[in-house]
Structure 1
Amino acid sequence: MVKKLLPFLGEYKKEAILAPIMVALEVVFELLIPFLMARIVDYGIQGDGGISYTIKIGLIMIVIAVLALVCGGLSGRYSAVAGMGFAKNIRSGLFSKIQTYSFGNVDKFSTSSLITRLTTDVTNTQNALMMILRMAVKAPIMLVGAAIMAVSINARLSMIFIITIPILTVALYLIGSNAHPRFLKMLERYDALNEKVQDFIVNIRVVKAFVREEYEEDKFIDSAKAVQETQLKAEKLVILNMPIMQFIIYSSILAILWFGGNMVVSGSFQIGELSSFIMYMMQTLISLMMLSMIFIMLIISRASFSRIIEALEEVPLLDDENANPELSLKDGSIEFKHVNFSYNRDPDNLVLKNINLKIESGQTIGIIGGTGSSKSTLVQLIPRLYDVLSGEVIVGGHNVKDYKLNTLRDQVAMVLQNNVLFTGTIKENLKWGNENATDEEVIEQAKAAQAHDFIMSFPNGYDTELGQGGVNVSGGQKQRLTIARALLKRPKVMILDDSTSAVDTATDAAIQEAFRNKFKDVTTLIIAQRVSSVSHADKIIVLDNGEINGFDSHERLLESNQIYQEIYESQSKGVGADE
């Protein structure tokens, strides 16, 4: 699993190699200190070495300790650089991968889950790598080195390790095998918690308008408690690691002091050797503790590894590998041939059924129908936001699958029902449609969308800062800005998905007039609830339960189509009642 993420080390491979090298040198120096200390006690103090020998070995110990400190500091620095760079590359790779997702892929994971994977899961992975680069190198080298040194001092006394190590190994295995699924469940609860936070922050104005703060707080507390419960369930297994380690360490120390002390009393063991043996024993047990910490960290991170890899290996439902990179849209003609569509790819649960439709380039087409009649679904197939289950969608004379996705979508501008603006100035938001647009072009399209006048009413005009999501402009103003942004693309096909519902009828009429006069060569599809918004169209599609019930001009539909007649009459009566 870790191997799949190692390529993300990228330009930080040098630091990832230097960190364990420095750790290895640090361990070598640390292993020499107990040996030298034993020499001081046995030969310097109690033996014939005297003060000069003691000072000499003491100076060597100081130099070795300084070298160990330097190597430890460098290993820490290199592992931090490698770990943070590794996390940066994973986040970039994961974000780039998410960019390739189709709507269906995003629906599968949910926004909150993807955010958790980009933040919490990547942080867990970063911490795991930093621990692996240092502890995973230091612990085994110290374990083997200290054990060898201990055996070389007294092989009989070293038998204590043969008893303690298997006990620790079995305990860690039992902890790890049971803890992993619990941590995976905990991260899923984090997803749910992030979803609640996201909903609350994005919709905070609605929450306050309906005085539902306490209700939302209760929902958040419930989610937080769910995270707490799963975390406690996972952690109560992990925390067993420390008492088990302490029991083994203290038991080993008591055994060594008892048996080693008896050997010293009997004269078969020297005090300096016993002291160095105890230090090597401590190093061995400390290395076992580090291995247990690595083990626990990997248990925690394993869930994050799997979630990141799952997102990275997700196959986009849409791809353009077989598309012709040289192909471009020659015009804005659109044709649907026997199109069937289902969001879950289920032929028994079709959202669109046997759609046959032909639209000439430059035509203005209205789309009308009841709620749930699949109006938005129909137009989302044109820029290939979803793929058809069967049949063909042809744009500009070619199947949409024959185009590179960027080529197709650059020529199909879509203003969605949910108008999205980004933090930044009005000009920066408009230039999302064309980052190279001049100020004159920006103003021209803003005027066409009937947005220029209200923009200039702000003190800073086009340089006015928009709050997150455009909270400081009204719904109608937001719609006009998104229309202007789409117009800056100068597309061959323009799709307006109920995008003038928040503007008054006079402004709506002015926008439609601008489309007729300035964008005659652009194929325009207008989804609307009001008949008045589409009555001027060359033809109007009447959708009913995912099927085309009518496709003709306003006048002919009034004569022949019952659904259209009912919509028109209900809206006409509503106008009369208001008057």
Structure 2
Amino acid sequence: MLRLMKKKLDWWAVVAATVFLGIQVMCDLYLPNLTSKLIDNGVAKGDTDYIWHIGAQMIIIALIGLAAAICNVYFAATQAQKMGMRLRSDIFKKVLGFSNKEIDDLGASSLITRTTNDVLQIQNVIIMMLRMMIQSPLMLIGASFMAYTSERSLTTVFAVSVPLLLIAIAIVMGMAVPLFQKLQKQIDKINLVFREGLTGVRVIRAFRQDEFEQKRFDNANKDYTKTGIKVFSIVSVMMPIMTLVLNGTYIGIVWFGGKLIANMNMQVGNLVSFMTYAAMVLFSFMMLSMIFVFVPRAQAAAVRIIEVLETENSIVEKENAIEAVEDVPASLEYDNVSFRYVGAEERVLDNVNFSMKAGQTLAIIGGTGSGKSTLINLIPRLFDVDTGAVKVDNQDVRDLKESSLHKKIAFVQQKAILFKGTIRSNIQFGKENATDEEIWRALEIAQAKDFVSQLADGLDAVVEQNGDNFSGGQKQRLAIARAVVKRASIYVFDDSFSALDFKTDAKLRMALKADKDINQAIVVIVAQRISTVTQADKIIVLDEGKVVGIGNHEELKANNETYQEIMHSQLREEDI
């Protein structure tokens, strides 16, 4: 956790918080001394003027201590919040740069927990550190010294009370720390089950698995509750132990102090001030015990956050990466490309070779699991090839800066993803400064103009989270429009037409062909339907990661067995 603090805290503010806390502690330590004088020299002698004089001093010192405490709390709170803000920002920025592998390894639910709950644990401990962790040792040392100078003979009482507290703190820490670490992992589990339940609610209802999912969540919830009850029950024992020791210490002080007063070896004021200092000493131990309990939980959270921040991305940009060449005819080439997922025994792609030029359309077709999506995911470097090379505009994608590479590619994923906002803001993800004219043109190509123009707010129509207020086909067309509005060298459509009917599919492909800008680029279409690929300049047929056919529709229809099987499974004989 100290590694995070060094990087994320403003140390001038930490110093300021410490200085103000030191002033507060000095004021708190001086007040019992004044109380002793007030009792011995004012109350005992009936000196009213002296009482008013000391009382005025006590008010001034109390106000100074209050002002110092306010300043300390201000700096502690602002630094804790700023550290939380910086950590969340760094985690989010880091995660945005992750490839699919890193996200799968860490888990989406765990990443959410680390960004929220784990950061909150660290924020809480930062406030405790800038308040209690600094205040406790200062108060402990100062109160011990003042108690010793006030009455040395009574300090022997601490020889019993302090060891008892230390033993209690050690036992509580030993039992609570492992449970706090377990608690963080159980929060991950609850988050995972709850997130799956939300995203898969339609599937759950369709298969009538409501009770099963409820039991699944209840189990995760009960595990977390049991651990929470156990750990906080252990922590709560500290308060009654502290009260018992404190009251026992008071009894010892009053017992021995009363004898000293009776023998005229001690004044009443000194006994009162000593009892106040004793309370400060024991209270300091209690604060330290609370810190020792909660710091390990924050430390566990810090380890999880550092794991995210220090996770090395499997897709690394070279130090000498170059900018992609602008204003050159588009080209795409796969040179002996092979790829295997981490931990997989078999290759997903094996020795793939083909090339495309500007103005051409490439279609990729094959059975489920044949490697179609994996093949196109190599273009924007969502994964890196094991052997061979993927070249965009005659440059290996691994030699290019990622930002420069992504400028050349417009990508539509298999699952349409829309963001909460408006239709305009979603389309402008493709081109930030796109005008309304460009947006309407993109919507027209994507066959979305008709239904958008019928909305009351048009381009300013609200898009709910995940686009839940639109149908699957409407979401898909808006996602296609977002890609089309971008000026790119390569347009990639990963089975993006599957949610469209045959008529809309055909119109969309004709519109893509007719657009003069897109017509100068390369269009890559992954499809399941034969009707979607028939007009492509080149069709690649994949089977278990291997290219089993390359050619146009007529060539493959005549000569390729796999293509013929797909065709016969979808079309009637007279249609073929």
Query: Normalised by the shorter chain, which TM-score bucket?
Result: over 0.9
State whether structure 2 residue 396 is matched by structure 1 residue 399. yes
State whether structure 2 residue 547 is matched by structure 1 residue 557. no
Correspondence 1:77-92 to 2 at 5 A: 77-92=74-89
User: What is the CA–CA distance in structure 1 between the aligned matches of 2:167 and 2:550, rounded to whole Å?
Assistant: 73
User: What is the CA–CA distance in structure 2 between the aligned matches of 1:186 and 1:50, rounded to whole Å?
Assistant: 60
Structure 1 window deviating more from structure 2 (297-306 vs 226-235): it is: 226-235
User: What is the CA–CA distance in structure 2 between the aligned matches of 1:483 and 1:317, rounded to whole Å?
Assistant: 29
User: What is the CA–CA distance in structure 2 between the aligned matches of 1:239 and 1:355, rounded to whole Å?
Assistant: 64
2:318–2:399 contact (8 Å) kept in structure 1: no
Task: Report the CA distance between 1:576 and its aligned residue.
Answer: 7.6
Task: Report the CA distance between 1:281 and its aligned residue.
Answer: 0.2
User: What is the CA–CA distance in structure 1 between the aligned matches of 2:379 and 2:493, rounded to whole Å?
Assistant: 12
User: What is the CA–CA distance in structure 2 between the aligned matches of 1:327 and 1:375, rounded to whole Å?
Assistant: 26
User: What is the CA–CA distance in structure 1 between the aligned matches of 2:215 and 2:78, rounded to whole Å?
Assistant: 41
**Paired residue for 2:14?**
16
**Paired residue for 1:505?**
502
Question: Which residue of the other structure, out of 289, 306, 309, is the alignment partner of 1:309?
Answer: 306
SS state at 1:156 partner: helix
Deviations, residues 210-247 of structure 1 (Å, cap 9, x unaligned): 55544433332222112112223333332333233233
User: What is the CA–CA distance in structure 2 between the aligned matches of 1:28 and 1:258, rounded to whole Å?
Assistant: 29
User: What is the CA–CA distance in structure 1 between the aligned matches of 2:318 and 2:248, rounded to whole Å?
Assistant: 64
CA RMSD of aligned residues (A): 2.1
Correspondence 1:34-433 to 2 at 5 A: 34-47=32-45, 50-208=47-205, 212-328=209-325, 330-344=328-342, 348-433=345-430
Long gaps (5+) in structure 2 = none
Cα distance change of structure 1 residues 154 and 352 upon mapping to structure 2, 3 Å threshold: same
Structure 1 segments of 4 or more deviating over 6 A?
A: 574-577
SS state at 1:495 partner: strand
2:494–2:526 contact (8 Å) kept in structure 1: yes
Cα distance change of structure 1 residues 427 and 575 upon mapping to structure 2, 3 Å threshold: farther
User: What is the CA–CA distance in structure 2 between the aligned matches of 1:576 and 1:255, rounded to whole Å?
Assistant: 102
Task: Report the CA distance between 1:171 and its aligned residue.
Answer: 3.2
Cα distance change of structure 1 residues 560 and 234 upon mapping to structure 2, 3 Å threshold: farther
2:318–2:398 contact (8 Å) kept in structure 1: no
**Paired residue for 1:527?**
526
Question: Which residue of the other structure, out of 30, 33, 36, is the alignment partner of 1:32?
Answer: 30
Structure 1 window deviating more from structure 2 (106-115 vs 181-190): it is: 181-190
Scaled by the length of structure 1, what TM-score is found?
0.94
User: Structure 1: which amino acid aligns with 2:188?
Assistant: D
Deviations, residues 499-535 of structure 1 (Å, cap 9, x unaligned): 0111111111111112222222211111111011011
Task: Report the CA distance between 1:193 and its aligned residue.
Answer: 1.1
User: What is the CA–CA distance in structure 2 between the aligned matches of 1:391 and 1:241, rounded to whole Å?
Assistant: 64
User: What is the CA–CA distance in structure 2 between the aligned matches of 1:64 and 1:332, rounded to whole Å?
Assistant: 77
SS state at 2:67 partner: helix
Task: Report the CA distance between 1:574 and its aligned residue.
Answer: 9.5
User: What is the CA–CA distance in structure 2 between the aligned matches of 1:484 and 1:402, rounded to whole Å?
Assistant: 30
Task: Report the CA distance between 1:498 and its aligned residue.
Answer: 0.6
2:177–2:293 contact (8 Å) kept in structure 1: no
SS state at 2:146 partner: helix
Cα distance change of structure 1 residues 521 and 259 upon mapping to structure 2, 3 Å threshold: same
2:136–2:285 contact (8 Å) kept in structure 1: yes
Scaled by the length of structure 2, what TM-score is found?
0.95
Q: Percent identity?
A: 38
**Paired residue for 1:3?**
3
Task: Report the CA distance between 1:253 and its aligned residue.
Answer: 1.9
SS state at 1:489 partner: coil
User: What is the CA–CA distance in structure 1 between the aligned matches of 2:236 and 2:469, rounded to whole Å?
Assistant: 50
Structure 1 window deviating more from structure 2 (457-466 vs 355-364): it is: 355-364
Task: Report the CA distance between 1:540 and its aligned residue.
Answer: 1.1
User: Structure 2: which amino acid aligns with 1:358?
Assistant: S
1:157–1:256 contact (8 Å) kept in structure 2: yes
Correspondence 1:408-557 to 2 at 5 A: 408-518=405-515, 519-557=518-556
Task: Report the CA distance between 1:554 and its aligned residue.
Answer: 1.3
Structure 1 window deviating more from structure 2 (175-184 vs 85-94): it is: 175-184
2:91–2:309 contact (8 Å) kept in structure 1: yes
Cα distance change of structure 1 residues 458 and 186 upon mapping to structure 2, 3 Å threshold: same
User: What is the CA–CA distance in structure 2 between the aligned matches of 1:522 and 1:345, rounded to whole Å?
Assistant: 36
SS state at 1:158 partner: helix
SS state at 2:519 partner: coil
Structure 1 window deviating more from structure 2 (316-325 vs 367-376): it is: 316-325
User: What is the CA–CA distance in structure 1 between the aligned matches of 2:551 and 2:227, rounded to whole Å?
Assistant: 59
Cα distance change of structure 1 residues 223 and 31 upon mapping to structure 2, 3 Å threshold: same
1:140–1:287 contact (8 Å) kept in structure 2: yes
1:197–1:220 contact (8 Å) kept in structure 2: yes
Cα distance change of structure 1 residues 514 and 30 upon mapping to structure 2, 3 Å threshold: same
SS state at 2:432 partner: coil
Structure 1 window deviating more from structure 2 (205-214 vs 217-226): it is: 205-214
Cα distance change of structure 1 residues 182 and 507 upon mapping to structure 2, 3 Å threshold: same
Structure 1 window deviating more from structure 2 (274-283 vs 349-358): it is: 349-358
User: What is the CA–CA distance in structure 2 between the aligned matches of 1:332 and 1:474, rounded to whole Å?
Assistant: 34
User: What is the CA–CA distance in structure 1 between the aligned matches of 2:347 and 2:40, rounded to whole Å?
Assistant: 88
SS state at 2:419 partner: coil
Cα distance change of structure 1 residues 406 and 263 upon mapping to structure 2, 3 Å threshold: same
